[in-house]
Amino acid sequence: MTSSGPAPGSVTLPRASAPPRRSLLVLLVLLVAALALAPLVALIGFSGLLSHPLQARLGSAGGEQLANTLLLLIGVGLAGAVLGTTNGWLTASCHFPGRRWLRIAQLLPLATPTYLLAATAIDLGSRFSWRLHGPGWAALVLTLGTYSYVFLLSTESFAVSGRRHLEACRSLGVGPWGSFLRVALPMALPAIGAGVALSGMEVVNELGAVELLGVPTLSGGILQRWQNDGDPQGAAALALIALLIVSLLVAAERLLRRRSRRWSVGGGGDIPPRWQLAGWRALLAQLLTLLPPLLSLGLPLVWALISRDQLQSESFGELAGLALRSLGLGLGGAALTLAGGLLLAVARRWLPDPALQRLTFIAGMGYAVPGAVLALALMLVGSPLQLPPLLLLVWGYGDRFLAVSKQGLDAALERLPPSIDEAATGLGCGWLAVLRRVHLPLLRGPLLVGALLVFVDVVKELPLTFALRPFDFDTLSVRVYQYASDERVGAALIPALLILALGLAAALALVPSLERGEPRPPTS
């Protein structure tokens, strides 16, 4: 960095702390990375993989699990990218009746736990002699459960960045399709890539739904080998393959982002109105945006409707306790994870050292490890230290979801031209001051989106919560899973609807900021 003194004759500017304290940033990055990586290192050490690498075998079962995981990745990735981007564009840049509500509704699928979706779908099917079974159904359920990642990140990009470019399109006579394909889509590619990468990691990690649908995948194989076969080396070998897949996903996303690097400072000023859709086009837009939330909310609701006699509720006090614990964990997890993610994302911008760059990249790898395995890893680290279970649990959330918060922030930071930082540092700001006075205000949208994603993820998170929570500390998702795994869908439904309600409340709280800088209503 060039920290030259004020040029002769220049205006004297207020200066933050004189030498920018990057050593603090390096220290913080090392701390976050150490926390994130400690369980993974413990895991590799425990597996004995390093001392007996030859004992690890993929085996025929491993081959099938790998093939299924790849199949799901491709299917869900493609379907999610198309659905998420389409709905992101439609609700951000077009106008049709019901758009506002349908935009919020896109978040519903995110708050529906996939295992509940799978359980209700299978249960409903079995009443009509439909066997819901196999990779096709699994891909459908997972697409429904994860396309919102793509939607959220892309729509934020469509809504905030590059409106000016669209205005240029209009003045040059480029229509809605042209403006989408030639301008908005390329600009949103980093965000779409980030969303697809996130949903891909979720797929690699998925356990409950795929098991219910009878699709053996890597994450199930890892647990099976470790816990049932007593073969930690084999488990670690599979886990490393999962890790490799996720690294490839993230690397591909980065490459995509680098190739489409364009900067925009974001909204502000007079924003042009949306494309007005009418007739069959409006209808199609409504259908496309309605169908996924309708399915993910509708399946449990239809189930509830035709099995009213089975709905069982716990006492209000019990439900309130469950909800409050979920809420507390969600908020705590989101705050912690976001702080860590922001730190790593910012560090990538300030610290050009390749080793540190790589470290910020690897630190997000906790997301690639199936939750149940991460839980075991955390026990390896936490038990000797006698850490309280709640602390271990929040550590787990941070580790698991660091990538979720970081991914969106990385993409958003890359849209900010470096000239901003240069200007700020030229005015004497250190990284902390730039963060506080420049980056944070500009990153408000992505930060809130990240917070929402992590919040919802934590509230519906299962394996970590299940394995690490203290005595008498059930949460909504724990209760849902306990009932669902015992095939008591009727009792699982009310806590599941509360998860949805929490997710929706968080989403609604976000709306004002997502819709900030709304274009003026179209004049018709």
Closest approach, Cβ 312 to other proteins, in A, equals 9
328 or 522: CB nearest other proteins: 328
Relative orientation angle of helices 22-47 and 316-350, to the nearest 10 degrees: 120
Q: Give the amino acid at 345.
A: A
State in angstroms the smallest separation of the CB of 228 from other proteins: 7
Helices and strands: H and E segment counts in the chain: 24, 2
User: Closest approach of Cβ 466 to other proteins, in Å?
Assistant: 6
Buried b (16+ CB within 10 A) or exposed e, 302-312: ebbeebeeeee
**Nearer to other proteins among residue 147 and residue 226 (C-beta):** 226
Nearer to other proteins, 169 or 480 (CB): 480
CA dihedral 258, 260, 261, 262 (to 10 degrees): 180
Minimum distance from CB of 471 to other proteins (Å)? 4
Closest distance to other proteins from the beta carbon of 181 (Å): 33
Give the angle subtended at the CA of 205 by the CAs of 476 and 66, to the nearest 5°.
150
Ramachandran category for residue 312: left, alpha or beta (phi over 0 → left; psi -120 to 50 → alpha): beta
- Among residues 149 and 481, whose Cβ is nearest to other proteins? 481
- Considering beta carbons, is residue 178 or 470 the nearer one to other proteins? 470
d(CA 264, CA 257): 14
Nearer Cβ to other proteins, position 192 or 329?
A: 329
Give CA separation, 326 vs 318, 385, 396, in Å: 12, 26, 15
- The nearer residue to other proteins, 190 or 428, going by C-beta atoms, is 428
- Crossing angle for the helix pair 135-160 and 389-415, nearest 10 degrees? 50
Binding site for other proteins (CB under 8 A): 61, 122-123, 125-127, 129, 131, 133-134, 211-214, 216, 223-224, 227-230, 306-307, 309-310, 314, 321, 324-325, 327-329, 331-332, 335, 372, 375-376, 379-380, 383, 386, 390, 436-437, 440-441, 444, 463, 466-474, 482-483, 485-488, 490-491
Whole-number Å distance between alpha carbons of 412 and 395: 25
Q: Rounded to the nearest whole angstrom, what is the least distance from the CB of residue 213 to other proteins in the complex? A: 7
Geometric angle at alpha carbon 226, from 223 and 228, rounded to 5°: 85
Question: Least distance from C-beta 426 to other proteins, angstroms?
Answer: 19
Give 151 or 226: the residue with its C-beta nearer to other proteins.
226
* Residue 204 or 484 having the CB closest to other proteins: 484
Assess contact for 67 and 140: CB atoms under 8 A: no
CB atoms within 10 A of CB 47: 23
> Smallest distance, Å, CB 196 to other proteins?
28
**Cβ(207)–Cβ(220) below 8 Å:** yes
Nearest to 409 by CA among 481, 344, 500: 344
- Rounded least distance, CB 518 to other proteins, Å: 15
How many Cβ atoms from other residues are within 10 Å of residue 523's Cβ?
6
